[in-house]
Structure 1
């Protein structure tokens, strides 16, 4: 099984990658199209030049890799993807994957993203792009808030929805880096590197003001479209 897990940034996506990557039967790949996206668009992201230098920045080459065998002789392959990376990148490979869509309320995404990169735009947080991906490659939708509220219940639901046996190894992992982390982990993954499992339930939504509140209102209809379909 090849799982394409679609999300936007700051969406519990790294913890989900660690969850599946902790299974003995899974290989994992962290945002395969990120370097190609940065090279193509010229976007000024943290560690931009290092990302392009270290990772495959040819989108066609990345896509071709998906047609090959699962790495390390594993039975399954978990691919953490960002919808924002796919503009002008090949997508036909996704038809052969189990596509899953991970969502999070935009207020939480915006508050978290702004800590790492100031003044995000609607494009940066990826809600519109994720809906576009879902429309082309529908699949189960799972909300990060539900996972944090009850990880085992939601992961069991997800595994059942995609025809995969649940593995208790998905619920906890050792703290620290992973060999499949992208080089950008040094900037973005501080919290997940300290974690040994999913964080507990989240509190009230953050109070946003000004441009951040306006951005949330722009993103909300996209989130609500997918939230209506969640497991």
Structure 2
């Protein structure tokens, strides 16, 4: 029997997903993977390739067949623990049945904090770009099919990373390690080719940064999107560690 633990983090954008990937990368028993379904998403989404930075590089260097990506995830046993950082919207219409064989984590963030950050890279995002509705759809899928899952809230992680990561490791049935709380401020070889557009802050970090509320006024042009996202976030937070 394959004893490899395959952890799938299903995140929205402009979250702390890369920091969590870096945390797991500190473990000697773990190999991390950065958004392996990104090229599949860009190839098959009707519009995303028009506004995501670095599209050509991503499509030319990554597997665009989502089913092949999933099979590679399930057959890979390079380390006892594999950590796959995913964006929920990258799933598109892939068959979710593979999730029965993975450890499922949903990562969310208050849209009041997230939307202005995302808008600085991709302007005028839609509800499909930011993942909140898709997270609830995924959560309902887990519940319907009796697939264990947990939810992380970025703010709670940043406020007490040791406490929340300890709970997360308990959920994954692995030992928490103190070295998950810090890393060298640099790029990692596992970083996606898109890191130069998105990862500046985490490359400067040496651990989870202290949570700070936004001190800039919330952009008016995002108010309608915030109204769409907030009810989904309010539901997700009920499940958070």
Shorter-normalised TM-score: what interval? over 0.9
- Give the aligned partner of residue 91 of structure 2: 86
- Post-superposition offset of 1:204: 5.0
Question: Distance in 1 between the 2:45 and 2:176 partners?
Answer: 39
Q: Where do 1:99-178 residues align within 5 Å?
A: 99-137=104-142, 138-178=148-188
- Give the aligned partner of residue 224 of structure 1: 234
- Post-superposition offset of 1:206: 5.3
Q: Which consecutive unaligned segments of at least 5 residues does structure 2 have?
A: 143-147
Asked whether the equivalents of residues 113 and 213 of structure 2 are also in contact (C-alpha less than 8 Å), the reply is: no
Question: For 1:63-83, what per-residue CA distance to the aligned partner results, in whole angstroms no more than 9, with x for missing partners?
Answer: 110221323xx1100011111
2:223 aligned with 1:213, yes or no? yes
2:27 aligned with 1:19, yes or no? no
- Give the aligned partner of residue 198 of structure 1: 208
Count of residues paired in the alignment? 229
Asked whether the equivalents of residues 113 and 214 of structure 2 are also in contact (C-alpha less than 8 Å), the reply is: no
Question: For 1:112-168, what per-residue CA distance to the aligned partner results, in whole angstroms no more than 9, with x for missing partners?
Answer: 101112111111111111111121135111111011111111111111222221011
SS in structure 1 of the partner of residue 104 of structure 2 = strand
Question: Distance in 1 between the 2:209 and 2:169 partners?
Answer: 20
- Post-superposition offset of 1:211: 2.5
Q: Which consecutive unaligned segments of at least 5 residues does structure 1 have?
A: none
Asked whether the equivalents of residues 12 and 130 of structure 2 are also in contact (C-alpha less than 8 Å), the reply is: yes
Runs of 4+ residues deviating >4 angstroms: none
TM-score (norm 2): 0.91
- Give the aligned partner of residue 64 of structure 2: 57
TM-score (norm 1): 0.95
SS in structure 1 of the partner of residue 133 of structure 2 = helix
Q: 1:151 to 1:103 in 2, by over 3 A?
A: same
- Give the aligned partner of residue 14 of structure 2: 10
